[in-house]
Structures are given as C-alpha cells and as structure tokens.
Amino acid sequence: MKAITYRNYGTPEVLRLEELPKPEPKANEILVKIYATAVNSGDYRLRKPDPQVVRLVFGLFKPRNPILGIVFSGEVEAIGKNVTKFRVGDKIYGMSGMKMSTYAEYICLSESATIDIIPDSMPKEEAATIPFGTMTAYHFLTKSKIKSGDKVLIYGASGSVGVAAIQLAKAFGAEVTAICSSVNSDLVKKLGANHVINYDKQDFTDTKETFDIVFDTLGKYVPNTFLPLLKMNGCLILCNASAAQMFWALWKNLTTKYTFLIGVSSEAVENLKAISKLISENHISAVIDKRFPLESMSLAHTYVEAGHKKGNVLIDISPAKVI
C-alpha cells in the first residue's frame, strides 16, 4: 500500500511516499480502506517535534511509528473473526488515536476504537475532517456544561477547533461571539456566529460584554487576559495550555469561583456518536479550506504549519465509490 512516512523528525521534506505491506486485521480488528485523512495542527508538531519532549513518547532519536495521521474516513474491507460491530462495506469515520497511521491507503483498527458510521448527509471523504476539531470542541463544551441561552466567546474561531466550537455552541442554543481575522468574518458568520470581533481591527479586551464561557482554542494570550470577560461563575476553556498555565488553572480552580478547563480531549466513541447525530440533524458540516492528494503531503504540512488555514485541510487517498 502507499503511505506517507517520516523516518526522521524535521521539516515537511522528511515526509516521503513509500510502498509498504498492506496490514492484516487481527481477530478483533477491521481493515479499513481509507478514503481521506486530514492534516491537523498536532501532526506537524509531532513531525518537528514541538515540543522536544515529544521524543520521550514517540521515539528519542527518530519516530518509532513512521506513519502520522489520526483521523480518517473509509470503508471496511475485511473483518477479523471476532468482530461484531462492523460489516464489510460499512462506510466509517473516526480517530486512530496514539496508533496514528492514517496517512496511508489502509489501516487496521480495533472494532472498539473511536469509529462510527458516516452519517448519510456527510460527503464520505469530507467526514475525515470532522473528528479532530469537533471531538475537541465537543469534549470541552460539554464539560463546560454549556446550556441554551449561554453567551459564548470563541477565540481562534476560524481554526479546526474554532469552526467546530461555533457550530456546536449554536447547536446547544448558545449566543456566539467569534474572534477571528477580518478575512474570516464571512466564514464564521455563515457557521452561525451571532457577533464577530476582528482581532486585526479591534482589541477584544475592550469589549464591555461578559460571557458564560470563553473558549480559547489557540493559547496566544496568557489566560489572565480572558478573566475580565468572564461572568461570575463563568468557565474558561484553555485548549492549548502550557504546563505552567495548567498549574495556574488548577490553582485558580481551587481559589476562585470560575471554572478552568484544561487537558486532553476525550476520544470516547459515545462522543463521536453524539457528533454523528448532530451531523444528521444538520447542526455540523465539514469546513474544508484546501484538498491535497496523498503524494502532496509535504505541501499540505507547509500550508497547515503556516497557521492560517480556515477549518480543515483534507488529504484525498482513495475516493469513495458512488453507488
């Protein structure tokens, strides 16, 4: 099978096309023929790596697993003898988590991995762009106990997590204020944002409004910056907190009336199923900036690493057959 590998850490040029053996499913696994994957912010950070401490987990001198990629959409091509949840031909999407390996034509995954059937309304390849941002936004927004009528401020509203957070917050009945650059105003409004603040035209800290939930998807400011924007008992989500900011948040959780949410997003399959339902109810759609073929992975990494993508970058691998 074709796969994009990174045999060494480094610039996008370390990503190479290779021919590798097609994997075979174990008794509890499914073999997935991958339609598409996506390049996410986490992927280029692992490739570099950034931070260097990544080496302790993913390989000290060179990557232990040479295939990046954690999201996919595809079709079940074969199943192990004990598999009961999926059938050959099922069109599925999901996340491979720490196993990664979705920059390839095939992957074997446990049937209990973060996988669900692609909702009928979702274009099959585009489904690959849903899990990264939407699972993250869903995890943090549900933990924040978001409810109808809440006022939610989303910083970094045009990124993968941001575009999902807007759509989810709207689905939960919130009033959304999105912070993004001027070029992305139309995008965030189309996704449902009630109000937009362009960070290149206006200092968002000048706003006199306060919010039940402030969702900082990017971590470009010290968390203190957002405190004046929180209502009493409000919740600050720090999706990209540094280690020092995590300690700060834990301390503030103990000593203030605010709630601070940090940590790693859950990959629970129930969350993906809840997202599938929201897709079927037309609350969530894929937001795709650019598409690249698998062979152009290094170009895709260069583009994503520049930090200006709108929503998601899709990588086409094997198109789904239209029946």
Please report, as ranges, the residues that interact with ligand NAP according to CB under 6 A: 40-42, 133, 136, 156, 158-162, 179-181, 183-184, 199, 217-218, 220, 239-240, 264-265, 307-310
Residue reference for tokens 């996919």: 72
Identity of residue 30: I
- Residue among 5 and 136 whose Cβ is closer to ligand NAP: 136
Which residue of this chain has its Cβ atom nearest to ligand NAP in the complex?
159
The distance of closest approach from Cβ of residue 295 to ligand NAP in the complex, given in angstroms and rounded to an integer, is 22
The distance of closest approach from Cβ of residue 177 to ligand NAP in the complex, given in angstroms and rounded to an integer, is 13
The distance of closest approach from Cβ of residue 164 to ligand NAP in the complex, given in angstroms and rounded to an integer, is 8
- Residue among 285 and 318 whose Cβ is closer to ligand NAP: 285
- Residue among 104 and 161 whose Cβ is closer to ligand NAP: 161
Q: Which residues have C-beta within 8 Å of that of residue 270, sequence separation ≥ 6?
A: none
The distance of closest approach from Cβ of residue 165 to ligand NAP in the complex, given in angstroms and rounded to an integer, is 9
The distance of closest approach from Cβ of residue 237 to ligand NAP in the complex, given in angstroms and rounded to an integer, is 9
Strands 2-6 and 15-19: antiparallel
Exposure string for 22-33, b = 16+ CB within 10 A, e = fewer: ebebeebbbbbb
- Residue among 25 and 160 whose Cβ is closer to ligand NAP: 160
The distance of closest approach from Cβ of residue 186 to ligand NAP in the complex, given in angstroms and rounded to an integer, is 12
Phi, psi (rounded to 5 degrees) for 188: -70, -30
The distance of closest approach from Cβ of residue 88 to ligand NAP in the complex, given in angstroms and rounded to an integer, is 32
Q: How many CB atoms lie within 10 A of CB 66?
A: 20
Tokens of 254: 């103990």
- Omega before residue 51 within 30° of 0, cis: yes
- Residue among 177 and 184 whose Cβ is closer to ligand NAP: 184
How far is Cα 131 from Cα 103, in angstroms, rounded to an integer? 15
The distance of closest approach from Cβ of residue 239 to ligand NAP in the complex, given in angstroms and rounded to an integer, is 4
- Residue among 41 and 276 whose Cβ is closer to ligand NAP: 41
How far is Cα 139 from Cα 173, in angstroms, rounded to an integer? 17
How far is Cα 310 from Cα 287, in angstroms, rounded to an integer? 8
- Residue among 31 and 315 whose Cβ is closer to ligand NAP: 315
How far is Cα 144 from Cα 50, in angstroms, rounded to an integer? 28
The distance of closest approach from Cβ of residue 272 to ligand NAP in the complex, given in angstroms and rounded to an integer, is 14
Q: How many CB atoms lie within 10 A of CB 84?
A: 8
- Residue among 22 and 308 whose Cβ is closer to ligand NAP: 308
- Residue among 83 and 185 whose Cβ is closer to ligand NAP: 185
The strand ranges marked E within the chain are 2-6, 15-19, 29-39, 71-79, 91-95, 106-110, 114-117, 151-155, 175-180, 195-198, 211-216, 230-238, 259-261, 288-293, 312-316
